[in-house]
Structures are given as C-alpha cells and as structure tokens.
Structure 1
Amino acid sequence: MHDAPPVTTTPDDDAPAAPPLTPRRPTPRTHHGDVVIDDYEWLRDADDPAVVAHLQEQDAWTRARLAHLEPLHERLFAEIKDRTLETDLSVPVRLGGHWYYARTVEGQQYAIHARVPAAADGWEPPALSPGVEPAGERVLLDENALAEGHEFFALGGTEVSGDGRLLAYQVDTQGDERYVLRFRDLATGSDLPDVVEETSPGVALTPGYVFYTTVDDAWRPHRVWRHRLGSPSADDVLVLEEPDERFWVGVGLTRSQRFAQVELASKVTTEVRLIAAEAPTAEPVVVWPRREGVEYTVEDAGAELLVLHNSGAENFELVALPLPDDLQAPGASAAFAPERASVVVPHDPAVRLDGVDAFARHLVLSYRRDATPRVAIAAYPSPVVEPLPVVEPLPVVEPVETTPPVVDPPPVVEPVETTPPPTRTPPALLTWREITTGETLEAVQLDASPMLDQPMVRVVVESFTTPRTVYDVVLATGELILRKRQPVLGGYTPSDYAQTRAWATAPDGTQIPISLVWRRDRFVGSVPVRGSEPTNRHRTHEPTGPAPLLLYGYGAYEYSLDPWFSVPRLSLLDRGVVFAVAHVRGGGELGRRWYDDGKLLAKRNTFTDFVAVAQHLVDTGWTTPQRLAAEGGSAGGLLMGAVANLAPHLFAGIHAAVPFVDPLTSILDPSLPLTVTEWEEWGNPLDDPDVYAYMKGYTPYENVPADASAYPPILATTSLHDTRVLYVEPAKWVARLRAAGAPALLRIEMSAGHGGVSGRYSRWRQIAEENAWLLDVLGAAD
C-alpha cells in the first residue's frame, strides 16, 4: 500500500466524476478444459458503430479528466518546440552522383527529401545551412504535400535506383502499415503510372524491376512479388510465398547492388535467398536451407559471402563462404555449404555480434558488450566490386516480357575461386579498432553508408546526456570527423546533467543493470557502478533524495534499450525528475542468454526484474513509492500491466502505451494479426496446456484482482488503427480495472497506428500530454 496518497492536482469541477459505464456482455472461452468468462470481449468489433461510439465516449471522458493539466501540457509542448531547431537538415549522404538529405521547415509537420550533385571524387559532404536553399537542389519528395488531406501519414520504404533516376516510395495514410508503392522519375519530378496497393515496408530496385512484399489477413508479410516497371500491377509475378505462418518475408538490395536479398525469418530460424540483379527473373538461390533454431544474416563481400550465424554459437560468430561467379549455374549453391566456411570472428560468450557491413577493403562490425552497442573496424582483403548500374532507360508501358530482358553485362569483377575457399588473413590477425568517444554509457551505431567504395563510414554516437552526434570515420585510419551534433536550443549544457549505471538483484540472484540520468542542480547523487567508482563527477555513494523518478522498461524480442537522448525528457529532468531504465531480461542488452531468460516459460523474469529494480531504487534512497512512476509501451505495456498486479504498492502511477495486456486471448486466436509469428516468443497456448497455464498466470487482463482499489493511477494510451497491439486490449483492461475500483484512464487516438499520431508537432503534443500526466502523479507538476 502507499504510505501516503500521491500528490496530484484536482480535475476541473465540471469534469464528470464517474467514467462512462462499459457494459458487461459475458463471452465464454474454453481451452484445455478451462472455461473463462470475458465480460468485455465484445469491444473487439471495430466495425460496430456502437463500439466506436463507446471508445469515443471513453476518450472524451479521459480528456475531461486531464483538462486541468492543459496549462502544463501547453508549457511542456512549448518547451519541446523551443528547444528544437525547427528549420533544420540532416547530414548529406552520398549515393552515386548525388548527396541526399532530408530537411524540415518551421511550421511544417513532415520532412522534405532532396539532393544536390556530388563531385566525381568528392567525399566531403556539402556545407548546407538550414533555411538556405543550396545551389542545384532538387526536391525528390515533400512529405507535407503527400500528407495533405490526410489525418495520418507515414512514409514507408524508399529506394533510389543505381543510376539515380528513379525513386520508389511507399505511403500509409491509415496507420495500419499497409502501403501504396509508387515510382517517381527524378528527372521530371513526376510519378510513373505504376501503382501497387497493399504492400508492406521495403523494396529492392533492380534493372527494370522492383521486388516488394505483401501481407496476409494476419498482417504477416508472406509473399514476394516482382513488378516490371512500366507494366500494370495485375501482371506482377509471385516470386515466392512462405506457407509457414511462423515466418515472415522481407526484401532488400545489397550494398554492392549485385543481389536482391530475400529473408524468410521466424523468431528463431532464418533462411536467406539471393537473386542476381543482372538476372532479376531467375529463381532465388538459397544460401543455407533453414534449420530450426539457426538464425543468420548475409553480407556481400565481393568474392565471398559473410554469414553471421548462431549455429553452435549462442552470441553468434562471423564466417566467410566462397561466392560462385555464376549464381544460377547448376550446383552453384554447393559453395555455400557450412563446411566450406572459414571463421572471421569467432564466438565470444561475453560479446553479442549484431551485424557486419562490408566495404571495398574494410569490415564494420556491430556488437554489444557490457550492455551497450559498439562498432569496430578492421581491414579486410576482399576485392573491390563496383556497384551494378541500372542500365535500362526509364520505363514506358509495354507488353510484359516472358523472357529475361537483355541488359548490358555487369562490370567485370576479380576472378572468383570456387574451390577451395579463398586464402585470407587468419581471423586472429585481423586488427579491430573500436570506435568510441570515451563517454559514459554511450551508444555507438553505424548510420547510413550506402556505397561499397566509400573511404569513410558514418556512425552516430549518443547518450542520455549527449545529443545525437554524427561522425564520419576514415576507414584507413579510424579518424573521427565530427559532422553534426543535434542542436538543442535554450542554452542546453550536457555537463548540467549526470548519468550512471547501477545494478539491482533479482529474486534468483541475477544482477539487473539500471541506467539513470538526472539534472545535477536538482538532484545530486549516484550509486556505485558494480566493481568500480561512480562514473559521474559527483562521487557520492548515496543519493541525496528521495527524488521523483520515472522508471522505464521493455524486455522482449531481444530489443535493447540503449542510451538515447531525448529533448522532451529534459522537461522532466529540469523539474527534478530522475529518469531510469530497467534493462530487464527479455531484452538483448547482455546477449542472447539475457533474451532467452525472459521469454517463453521464463517470461516472469521480465516482470520480477522490473519490480526488483523499483524496490532497489526505493531501498537505496533514490526515490519512494509515492514519487515513483513506471512507463512502457507495446510489450513494455504488458510489463506495466504485470507489475501493476505484482507490486501496485511500489508506484504512484503507471503509463502503459499501446499495451499488450491481453496476450493470452490474442495468442489463442491464429486469425488475429501476427499471432502465429508470436508463438516462438511467448509459447503456443492453443496446443500446449502448460504454456496456457503459465500465460494465464501472468497476463495482466486476466489477473486484475476483484478489488484493485489500492492500485495507483493508470493511464493507458492506444490507437484505433494499431495492427500490432489491437486497441481492444487496453480497452478491455481499463474496463476491468475500473470495475475492480482502480483509477484507470483510456486515451485513444482515432486516426493513428502503433507509433501514435503522425507529424512532428502532433507527436510533440502527444508526448507533452503524457508527460504532464506523469509529472502530476509524481507530484512534480508546476
């Protein structure tokens, strides 16, 4: 129980005291002999006008209850806006003969995508100034124009052809993540007649053709199609269809532009197929046939394929395979046999390999160690391969060819040995240079670097206190060249803020990492980093709190909450709030085992880890239950619902965004979006009674007690068109919480998807509204 009620302001007197009643309409559900009566399942029918009207009524009531926070909401929005350089542009990225960038204009919701010509041998990005139109600029795509007349707008995949003359782009105006694919002639700025409806994100442009994917009724990308530019989409050719409902498909073009790469993946198994760009109508060639539990990715390295895999290597290892000179030759795929692989980077139980990128003479390795992402570079004796050019002219409408088009041959590459595998430098002799600025808790990640022969690669470095910073790294020397640091207006000084790493002990003895950040003059304190002194300047071992504290968590899909900078978060820190991240199991911060120990029949570890972190922060004096709020979204929303049931006494408020709080109902129904693909993450309760019982024991909706009057205030936010976590889950959850006496609010956007509203100003307002509520329950509202 709370020692005292949370300090909050009072809703307006004219706000309705009681929420709209959600009628009970019992619906039975029977599995494995267990009968469950669900009073609120009727809310699932989004086509029923009565359901939509009820949701609108619930949202209107929530808005009325939050109306007293409107002045704070407006101040928080203004602070985000005042700290943001609204007319700005990205660091240009070179692709072929142009530098590409995106820019924003004050007052406009969306970005404008443009390019300027590049010098033939120039690798120094052009010096562009915000608000000043550069000489030679050509606007490729203005998202504001595309969004006109739509309440929601999102840009999906985009890709420019190798010759720079064609742009493929995808647009979603509903929020349901089904995109319309179009093509733009960049010489004229006009769209081609070609239009492909209902695609999923991602395309691969090859000479005269584009590959794309579509989804089934469960929103699973399951088909790869080939569209001949200039022909009607009705004539598109089905390249492959994945019948296994656990798998989804994706398609993209390799950096060399020599291959369209098709990936078929479940949560635990991968299969990659290659299509030579010079023969786009050929059958895809399998690299490694799928083997249950084996995941791998493929990178074109000229004479070889680099394969990052986990076969017998829990945290993955990197190997090289010889690449045949003719992918379509009989028996060519035999070169990919695992026994022919040579190890490039061996498995390390302390390092999780995340990815590899091959350039003309260097490899860039992405990995994580000590719960943070890192990048290293090594010279690699692979031959230079020139990108395959697009050789066909822009298309005209003409009959579909039944035989592969005749194209100019690709540039000559160095001879490829097929047997034995090419001799190369032993892995032990590769010298890796780790890229770092030496900052505490920094995240270093590879950024856009699309050209095979570029002498520099781009990395982004950020932390909880350092804004997103873009560097170019000279491959030959490792020199860091600062290109841009995210501008933060209003006199932001990073040294005014501090960050540190702490550790909590889970019930089973596991040490759980915690990241913390705060403003020094509002809160001075830290806890010692395990095995070392604190890394911030205030070398006190005890916090001078307690302070209001917001604890954030996720813990699923091996997704890691790496250090990230946030302008909206500054408004919390400047009001004395400490922001903390619980790196609970189920995420990927500490390698594959960290993920495995928070999924399937070990899922409860995610929830008890979070509670252990919250208790640790209370026990060590950082905060108190009256000044501690929790926040998480999607699978992190499931975490929020679970900890509300496990430890309501620890929190003054809980924000669950697009929360997956009714997972058992959803995962029992294979017809619902993405259900079957989730079985390898959560288990299959439909066929396995043990999984059913385990999930029923933790799913938040089913475990709300009859009396939840001691629960802290809960805010659930969702969107009507969310296809990943359907709105019905938080709607049902809030109805059951209220019926049990919990103070719960449901905020629903009627024209948005899983990521919330679209448009930067609209998104800032949404974040400001949520943060106003959090400050209120923390007792830190103005």
Structure 2
Amino acid sequence: MTQNIQPPKAKQISKTLIAHDDERQDDYFWLNERENEEVIDYLNAENEYYDAVTAKYKDFEKSLFEEMKARIKEDDESVPYKYNGYWYIVKYETGKDYPIYIRKKDTLEHPEELLFDCNVMAEGHAYFKLVGLSVSPDNTMIAYGTDTVGRRNYTLQIKSLVTDEVFFDAIENTTGSATWANDNKTLFYTVKDEKTLRSDKVFKHKLGSSAVEDTLVFHEEDDTFGVAIYKSKSKKYLIIACYSTLTNEYYTLNANTPDAEFKVFQERIRGLEYSVSHYGDQFYIVTNVDDAVNFKLMKTPENETGLNHWTEVIPHRVEVLLEGIDIFKDFLVISERSNGLNHIRIKSWDGTEDYYLPFDDETYTAYTSTNVEFDTVILRYGYNSMTTPSSSIDFNMVTKEKTILKEQEVLDPNFDKNNYASKRVWATAVDGTKVPISMVYKKGIKKDGKNPVLLYAYGSYGLTIDPYFSSIRLSLLDRGFVYAIAHVRGGEYLGRMWYEDGKLLQKKNTFTDFIACSKFLISENYTSSEHLYALGGSAGGLLIGAVINEAPELYKGVIAAVPFVDVVTTMLDDSIPLTTGEYDEWGNPNDKAYYDYIKSYSPYDNVKKQDYPHILVTTGLHDSQVQYWEPAKWVAKLRMFKTGHNKLLLKTNMKAGHGGASGRFEALKEDAEEYAFLLDLENINA
C-alpha cells in the first residue's frame, strides 16, 4: 500500500530572514546549496519515493507514452521557407530524437545540403539544444548556439557552409543568437552575466580574429533590462533592443557600416513601450505612447526617429489589442486581438486593399508564422483550434487564394476531429468580471458532475494561452476528460488591461479568477471537486500553489510544473538569475508595500495546516528560470504541514532545466508521467 511507503523528510535548519522589520523563519533555506551532497541526496530520495509510489502504474505510464508517440509522424519535416535564395527545412527521421537542419538552393528539387544533424551533436549529452541559426548574407557561413545542460546558457560558434570548418574559439555565456552585418565579416552577439544570466552586453566579432579580441559595443547597466540584437527585415539596419517589462529602448546602425556607432532611436522613458520595423525611408512603430493601452501603429522618417517625429498610422482602439505587424514590399500585415480571438488584417501600402482573413470557429488560434522574405505577396500563417490539428497556410495577398501546405498528421486510425467539440464559456469572478474558459471534450459527455476535468492556466507576463490543438491531449479526452484553459487576468486574452489587472498589486486577481473558473465548472455540473484537477507551470505553478492554499477543497489533484513558489525570498535576492527584471511584474519587495502584498500570496510563505489535494511537483536541477530549490523547499514544507493521506510527490529531472527533457520523444515521457498521475486518481488504468 502507498501509505506504507514513507516519504523522505528534509532536515530542518532554521534560518531567520528579516526585511522591513518582519521576520520569517525558513527551515529549508539550506536546500539552495546546489553543491551540497545532502541536497542532492534529498532530491534523489524524493525521486526514489516518487518511483515507489508510482510503481503500480508504471506499465500504464509506458503504454501512455507509446500511445502518444504513435500519434506523431516520426519521419517528418517542416514546411520549407525561402530566404536569400535558399529553401530551409527541418526534418526528423524515424528512431531519432533530434532535428536535422538542411537547405536547398533555388528550388526544392535541388540536392539537399546538410547544415546540422543534432542527433550527432547530441551524442554523449543527456541534454542538447541548438538555437539561433544565423546565415551570413553571402550564404557561406552560419552562426549557432548550443546548450548541453538545460540552463539556457549557450555556447556560440561559427562554421563554414563551404568546408564545414568551425571558426574561432567557442564563446561561452551567450544567448545563442547572433546577427551578421552586410559585409559577411562582422558578427554581433549578446552575452549573459555569468551569475544572474541577464543578457547585458553586445559584442562585435570580426572573422579571422580571436574571440578575446571582440569589441564591446553596448553594455546595458540597468539590471532590470535585458538586451538583444537583430537585423531589420529590410536588411538595412542592425538593431539593438533594450527591454524590460514596462519599457523599451532601441539603437540602430546601418548594416553596411558595422564599425560606425549605434544611434539611439528613442531614449527610454519609464512606461513607454515600443517596437520598430523598417520599410522604405520610414520606421514603423507599435507603441503605447499617449496612453494607448492596447497599442497603436505610428511611423517616423528613418533619419528623425525621436518621439516628437512619430505620426499615427493606426489609432488606438479600446476594444482591439494591436499585437504586432509584418512588413512586406507591397503589404502591411497587422496581428490583432479582440474579444479574445486572433485576427489578421492585410493592408496594401497603396491603400487599395484593407481586409481581414476569415476565421469561423468559436474559439481558435491564428498567427503569422515564418515570413522572412520581404519582396513577396505570400503571407504564411498558422491556424488550429482545440479540435482542429495545426495547419501551415500560404495566402496570396493579391489573389486572396490560400494553399494549405501542411496539416498536422495524427497517426491514429480512430482519430476524427468531428468526434470532439470545443466551446467557450464565461465564469464570473468575485469582483463581477467575466472570465473566459476554452474547453474541449469528446462529444457525448453528460453534464452530471462526474466528468474528470483538467483546468489549465498561466496568467502572467501578458502571455496569452490561446486555445490550441494537442495530439497528446487526446489520451485524456478519449478517456473521458474535459480539458479547459482558464484565460485568467495576467495574460492578454482580453487586451492589455486584462494583463494590467493581473500583475503587481492586482496579482491576486489571477488566483481568484482561477478559483472562480473552478467553481463555475462545478456549479454547471461539468465536474465536481471529486473529479476536478488543476495544472500550471512556472508562473502558472505559482498560480497552482496560491490556489491550493486558498481553496484546496475544490480539487482532487494538481500538477505544479517547475513552479515559482518562493516568491518573497527569490525577489529579495538580486543575485538569482532573472530576478531584477521581474520587478515590474511582481513588484520590488524592497518596497514594503510590495513586500507585504507578495508575502500575502507567496505559496511557500502561506502553507498552512490543512488537507491539500493530491500534488505532483516537477523541477529540473539546472533550471535557470525557477531554481530547483523553490519546488524542493515547498514540498518539504508541505510535508510538514499537510494533513490527511493525499499524495505529495516531487520529481526532479537531474539532467535538465526549465524546459524539461530535450529530445523530441523524451519530453513525451514527462507528459505521460503527468497524465498517468491524473488517470490513476480517476482509477483509469487502461
């Protein structure tokens, strides 16, 4: 019996933490000592306990993995896209876990040229990630970043696409991305601070020189900002982007003169957000200037980029969020969101065309995808819904003809998208706000309160979780589960104010919205507290932690993946990676008002003596976003306080980071673990 398997017990070493004359006792602070053997022993003991408790359904878990894997086409490849005379393709081969990058010159009939075989590069590594592929303008060289730990700290290298020779010493601690000047000799890249992992410097490298000779061209000294560099789609400008949660600043340089000085576009003003795109002799700017909460589009001459020269192109609209633009030679494509749904608007520069792509589903996701070519009338976009597999579509903006290039294949002879239904319903929050929920389920379910429901949410950083298709999710739907996404405040599903109302001193709206959605699903007889489950990861794991402190009785079980749960202590420690850049999201607890508010909801600080639902917590030892010790400390404290006999499990991937396993199918094993945990609680074992 599970009750006879004793969980590990972390030793308690009391540490007093003082801020604003407030004392907190942390018995598990010592777990942040990554090099301490006792810490590793504790994590391994938790993993052994997890294995012991879940042993009874390991065979089912394996069959779930095989079931999920069988739906995915192994010998697959991406839709080719053309850039600078070459077609680029990513393909997968049967039995291999990692992608293979190839290109073909001029036509798709041309013999393929191998860029990278990640299966070979990953040999000998438990984790491998390739990012930031950047081809030189003359197509002869490629820069790329690799990570073999999972800490999102990339080693940058360059290789010749003519000889396959790798150039110069590897550069450590980079973001993995790099940008070429137009001379094919100069490469710009960004470096991270070794301790905080903040991207804070831009360097310039000259081919033929040693990396130690590289020139620092920009240093972002404000520790609440990060920095990146890219080239405009027009290929005329190199652009340095400085970014924080609330403020942007850009610097530009003609890509033909890489040794000249970057020039500030518009100096940072706290609260001024903007992004820039170049076209002709103008820059186009998506911005929130003049209280444009949902953003508007402006333009300015390329030689007069200050704010006082910006003129309006598309005005601010209260009901429409302007999410971004794609610029083509003859067309401007605008990505918008209204009433929670994506819309793609197409305008010709000469003013003769202005229309929207038609979408009919009640709830769906549509987005512009890979559009790297400037001189083309073809817009590539993606579309899917909770019942419709993802499609990649080419749309001719002149003839208005669309070509479906590829629809995601679901290799299951029993799969028929017409067997599933999706809908959007609205819960009422405690303050009267209507909160949307997107749902999908197999047709034929009854609203009798007996359906198992998995409710998912994120709710931070303005990140919107759109309703999307998942072949993995079919393993739940086909076994009677309803899957639901709560579009809680903190995301931007209903516009920018939806985000503003779920951050800083309004953060608790995120949690109370989720609780309201849970109660709605129960009151409408979709489910009951005996069959309701909750899932969230990272900042969504914070949501789960806060919710089960406040309303544990609503849920049979929850999953908190890589959860951000020790909010006060982390936000007070500016040496922890990424902390300072988070102040505009959560508040700076060095300010007492924010300290008190964060402390009032921080999951770790609010664990109490009560019954908690069944809980599965996952983390990665090398996580750079949420350090492993947050979930480890949380679980240790929950073990001390929770009453009852419900399961509390901690699974640490000792070889990965925030994103989990790196292989294409290794990640499915983590999905199978989570699903098996849920299905076992429903006594479903086949």
**TM-score, normalisation: structure 2:** 0.97
Alignment of 1:423-572 (within 5 A): 431-491=353-413, 492-521=415-444, 523=445, 543-572=447-476
Say whether the 8 Å CA contact 1:167–1:183 is kept in structure 2: yes
Counterpart of 1:276 in structure 2 is 254
Say whether the 8 Å CA contact 1:627–1:779 is kept in structure 2: no
Which one-letter code corresponds to 2:78 in the other structure? Answer: S
Aligned mates of 1:718, 1:740 — CA distance in 2: 21
Aligned mates of 1:191, 1:436 — CA distance in 2: 47
Query: 1:263 and 2:238 equivalent?
Result: no
Query: 1:661 and 2:557 equivalent?
Result: no
Alignment of 1:222-621 (within 5 A): 222-312=200-290, 313-324=292-303, 335-381=304-350, 431-491=353-413, 492-521=415-444, 523=445, 543-621=447-525
Counterpart of 1:761 in structure 2 is 665
Which of 630, 653, 678 aligns to 1:729? It is 630
Aligned mates of 1:368, 1:242 — CA distance in 2: 33
Aligned mates of 1:549, 1:58 — CA distance in 2: 28
Query: 1:718 and 2:622 equivalent?
Result: no
Counterpart of 1:400 in structure 2 is none
Alignment of 1:193-208 (within 5 A): 193-206=168-181, 207=183, 208=185
Higher deviation after alignment, 212-221 or 473-482 = 473-482
Query: 1:59 and 2:69 equivalent?
Result: no
Say whether the 8 Å CA contact 2:157–2:169 is kept in structure 1: yes
Aligned mates of 2:202, 2:74 — CA distance in 1: 39
Counterpart of 1:699 in structure 2 is 602
Say whether the 8 Å CA contact 1:576–1:780 is kept in structure 2: no
SS at match of 1:271: strand
Q: Deviations over 1:681-729 (max 9, x none)?
A: 001111x111111111110011111x23x11111100000001000000
Tell me how far 1:184 sits from its aligned partner.
1.9
Tell me how far 1:545 sits from its aligned partner.
4.7
Aligned mates of 2:361, 2:246 — CA distance in 1: 34
Which one-letter code corresponds to 1:59 in the other structure? Answer: N
Which one-letter code corresponds to 1:293 in the other structure? Answer: G
SS at match of 2:573: coil
Which one-letter code corresponds to 2:69 in the other structure? Answer: K
Counterpart of 1:405 in structure 2 is none
SS at match of 1:625: coil
SS at match of 2:454: strand
Say whether the 8 Å CA contact 2:28–2:636 is kept in structure 1: yes
Aligned mates of 1:236, 1:255 — CA distance in 2: 26
Q: Deviations over 1:312-347 (max 9, x none)?
A: 2010000111113xxxxxxxxxx1133322211111
Tell me how far 1:770 sits from its aligned partner.
1.0
Tell me how far 1:16 sits from its aligned partner.
5.9
Counterpart of 1:38 in structure 2 is 26
Which of 95, 98, 123 aligns to 2:83? It is 95
Higher deviation after alignment, 480-489 or 734-743 = 734-743
Aligned mates of 1:778, 1:296 — CA distance in 2: 48
Aligned mates of 2:355, 2:167 — CA distance in 1: 46
Say whether the 8 Å CA contact 2:341–2:364 is kept in structure 1: yes
Which one-letter code corresponds to 1:254 in the other structure? Answer: S
Say whether the 8 Å CA contact 1:436–1:444 is kept in structure 2: no
Query: 1:675 and 2:579 equivalent?
Result: yes
Say whether the 8 Å CA contact 2:156–2:170 is kept in structure 1: yes
Tell me how far 1:40 sits from its aligned partner.
0.4
Tell me how far 1:623 sits from its aligned partner.
0.2
Counterpart of 1:748 in structure 2 is 652
Tell me how far 1:194 sits from its aligned partner.
4.5
Higher deviation after alignment, 472-481 or 136-145 = 472-481
Which one-letter code corresponds to 1:211 in the other structure? Answer: F
Aligned mates of 2:450, 2:54 — CA distance in 1: 27
Aligned mates of 1:544, 1:463 — CA distance in 2: 26
SS at match of 1:365: strand
Counterpart of 1:539 in structure 2 is none
Which one-letter code corresponds to 1:748 in the other structure? Answer: T
Gaps of 5+ in 2: none
Aligned mates of 2:280, 2:487 — CA distance in 1: 38
Higher strand share: 2
Aligned mates of 1:260, 1:146 — CA distance in 2: 30
Higher deviation after alignment, 658-667 or 439-448 = 439-448
Aligned mates of 1:633, 1:431 — CA distance in 2: 43
Say whether the 8 Å CA contact 1:194–1:230 is kept in structure 2: no
Higher deviation after alignment, 83-92 or 279-288 = 279-288
SS at match of 2:627: coil
Higher deviation after alignment, 691-700 or 202-211 = 202-211
Aligned mates of 2:139, 2:343 — CA distance in 1: 32
Q: Deviations over 1:538-557 (max 9, x none)?
A: xxxxx355310000011000
Query: 1:85 and 2:73 equivalent?
Result: yes
Tell me how far 1:608 sits from its aligned partner.
0.3
Say whether the 8 Å CA contact 2:146–2:176 is kept in structure 1: no
Query: 1:215 and 2:192 equivalent?
Result: yes
SS at match of 2:472: helix
SS at match of 1:64: helix
Tell me how far 1:376 sits from its aligned partner.
1.6
Higher deviation after alignment, 571-580 or 246-255 = 246-255
SS at match of 2:582: helix
SS at match of 1:75: helix
Higher deviation after alignment, 290-299 or 53-62 = 53-62
Structure-2 change in CA distance of 1:434 and 1:544 (3 Å): farther
Which one-letter code corresponds to 1:317 in the other structure? Answer: K
Tell me how far 1:477 sits from its aligned partner.
2.9
SS at match of 1:626: coil
Say whether the 8 Å CA contact 1:16–1:64 is kept in structure 2: no
Percent identity for Structure 1 against Structure 2: 39
Q: Deviations over 1:649-701 (max 9, x none)?
A: 00000100000011111001111111111111001111x11111111111001
Structure ID, larger Rg: 1
Which one-letter code corresponds to 2:544 in the other structure? Answer: M
Counterpart of 1:75 in structure 2 is 63
Tell me how far 1:201 sits from its aligned partner.
3.4
SS at match of 1:238: strand
Structure-2 change in CA distance of 1:282 and 1:16 (3 Å): farther
Tell me how far 1:305 sits from its aligned partner.
0.3
Aligned mates of 1:55, 1:552 — CA distance in 2: 27
Aligned mates of 2:487, 2:354 — CA distance in 1: 28
Which one-letter code corresponds to 2:29 in the other structure? Answer: E
Matched residues, number:
678
Which one-letter code corresponds to 2:367 in the other structure? Answer: Q
Which of 116, 131, 138 aligns to 2:113? It is 138
Tell me how far 1:471 sits from its aligned partner.
0.3
Aligned mates of 1:442, 1:606 — CA distance in 2: 22
Aligned mates of 2:354, 2:507 — CA distance in 1: 36
Counterpart of 1:529 in structure 2 is none
Aligned mates of 1:609, 1:779 — CA distance in 2: 29
Query: 1:168 and 2:143 equivalent?
Result: yes
Counterpart of 1:327 in structure 2 is none
Tell me how far 1:135 sits from its aligned partner.
4.9
Tell me how far 1:740 sits from its aligned partner.
1.0
Tell me how far 1:373 sits from its aligned partner.
2.4
Say whether the 8 Å CA contact 2:155–2:176 is kept in structure 1: no
Tell me how far 1:195 sits from its aligned partner.
2.4
SS at match of 2:266: coil
